[in-house]
């Protein structure tokens, strides 16, 4: 569903762009993204900063949850980290688990370029009444 409105929504995420997050695919209730890791993504221990992994997951979660065209805002999220990464590319895939008129829940798998799981993110959104078109 890479229509004009979702493209505007993706382009409006200045922080995701700043980090280098690229949205690869969008369909109703799901999205995929990638992030090529650079030196500025690393923490003091030389591994990818947990906030970078979280931000990648959060960005793809936002796209997936707003893909229905209704403004969706996070009300609860959590993340579990499985392994440290020092270089390469991270991928994130958001999938809708449950949706009703007001709430929707998503999982996001974060993997490295070899397909190994790096983290698991879970989030719930409140679905507002307005269209995402009203944001632009």
User: What is the predicted pLDDT for the residue at 1?
Assistant: 46
User: What is the predicted pLDDT for the residue at 2?
Assistant: 61
Model confidence at 3, pLDDT cuts 50, 70, 90, reads confident
Strands (E), the chain: 22-27, 30-36, 70-81, 89-99, 103-112, 117-131
Class in CATH terms, 4-135: alpha beta
Q: Could you report the per-residue pLDDT of 86-110, keeping only the tens digit for each?
A: 999 999 999 999 999 999 999 999 9
Burial bucket for residue 53 (CB in 10 Å: 0-12, 13-18, 19+): buried
User: What is the predicted pLDDT for the residue at 86?
Assistant: 97
In contact, 120 and 109? CB cutoff 8 Å: yes
28 has pLDDT over 60: yes
């Amino acid at each position: 569903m890479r229509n004009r409105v979702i493209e505007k929504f993706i382009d409006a995420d200045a922080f995701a762009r700043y980090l280098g997050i690229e949205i690869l695919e969008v369909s109703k209730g799901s999205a995929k993204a990638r992030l090529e890791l650079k030196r500025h993504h690393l923490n003091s221990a030389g591994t990818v900063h947990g906030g970078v992994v979280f931000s990648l997951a959060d960005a793809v979660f936002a796209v997936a949850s707003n893909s229905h065209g209704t403004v969706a805002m996070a009300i609860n999220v959590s993340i579990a980290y499985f392994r440290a990464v020092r270089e390469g590319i991270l991928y994130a895939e958001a999938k809708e688990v449950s949706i009703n008129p007001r709430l929707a829940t998503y999982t996001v798998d974060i993997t490295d370029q070899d397909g190994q799981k790096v983290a698991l993110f879970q989030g719930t959104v409140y679905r507002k009444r307005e269209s995402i078109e009203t944001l632009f």
